[in-house]
Amino acid sequence: MSWKDILITPVHQWLAPTVGSCLTCGKMIRAGGCGVNGFSQICTACYKLIPWITAPRCPVCGRAVGCPDCSRTGQGARNFLLNRSAVQYNAVMREWLAQYKFRGNESLGPLLAQMMNYAMRAMIEELRVKSAAPKHPFDIITFVPVSEERMLERGFNQSRTLAYGAARGARAPVLDLLRRSRHTEKQSSRNRRQRLMDLNGVFEPLPDAVDKLEEHLLSKHLTQRPVRLLLIDDVYTTGSTMDTCALVLHNICRELGRPAEIYSLTWARS
C-alpha cells in the first residue's frame, strides 16, 4: 500500500455510510441514521408493517376493533382501570414476538422496548387529554412474572424488558413485585375459560413486595392519594392475566392501607 493509500483510505472509510442489517428482514440498511420515527434498527418497509393502535375502539381494553370480551353480558368490573397496547397482534407481529421469545433472537428486545416507549407516551397523552392526568401519571411500573421453568428455558422475562422500555416514556421506576406460585402451560393455546382456571391463584406477591413498595412511596412522599401502578405484559388476549395480577397488586396496596389505581400496557392486543 502506498503512502497515498495510507492517508486517503481512512478518509474514505469515514465518509462512506456504514451499513447494518434490518433486525426483522435482514435487508441492508444504513446504520447510525435516525430511521423512521427514530426506529433505526429496521428498514422503512418493515416499519410500515407495524400495525400501531392509534385510535383504540374499546375504551377499556384498548382493542382497535370490536371487543367481545368487554361487551360480554355479565362481564364484571376489571381490577384495572384500562389497558392500552402498542400494536395489533397480526401475523407479522406474532412472528416478531416468536423470534424474540422462542427462537433466541434477543437482539429484538431493544426494538420491542422502544415500541413500548412509543406506546407509553401515547397513553400518557391520552390520559392527559381525557382526565387531566399529570405529566408523569404513574408512580411505579411492574410486570407480569414468568415461572422458573420459563426463565431457565429462555433466560429472560420478555415482560420485564418491555417494562423498562415503557419506563423511559413514563419516567417511573420498575419494581419487581409479583411471582408465579406454579408453572402453567402457554396461555396462547387456551380459551377464556381454560385461562381463568389455569390462572386461579397462580400469581402472588414477592416476599418483600410490601416493604419494597412502602420504601418507594415514602421516599417520594406519596402518602395522600391512591398509588398509581402500571402493569406490563407482552400480549393482551382476554385480559385474564392482567386482571389476576391487578388483583394481587390491589392486595399489596391494601396491606399498606393504601388504595390503588392500576392501569396496564401491553406490546400487542390480539
pLDDT tens digits for range 135-174? 889 999 999 999 888 888 888 999 999 999 999 999 999 9
Half-sphere exposure of 181 (CA within 13 A, CB side): 12
Q: Where are the domains of the chain?
A: 1-49, 50-269
Q: Taking each helix axis as running N to C, give the angle between helix 192-199 and helix 240-255, from 0 to 180 degrees, rounded to the nearest 10.
A: 30
Position 176, amino acid? D
**Per-residue confidence (pLDDT) for residue 14, from 0 to 100:** 41
Mean pLDDT of 35-60: 92
**Per-residue confidence (pLDDT) for residue 118, from 0 to 100:** 95
Distant-in-sequence, close-in-space partners of 251: CB < 8 Å, separation ≥ 6: 205
Kindly state the helix (H) or strand (E) to which residue 179 belongs, with its residue range: strand 178-180
- Spatial strand order of the sheet with 140-143 comes to 83-88, 260-269, 227-236, 140-143
Residue 167 · residue 143 · CB < 8 Å? no
pLDDT band at 66 (very low <50, low <70, confident <90, very high): confident
Distant-in-sequence, close-in-space partners of 70: CB < 8 Å, separation ≥ 6: 58, 60, 61, 63
pLDDT band at 12 (very low <50, low <70, confident <90, very high): very low
Beta bridge partners of 30: 19
**Per-residue confidence (pLDDT) for residue 29, from 0 to 100:** 87
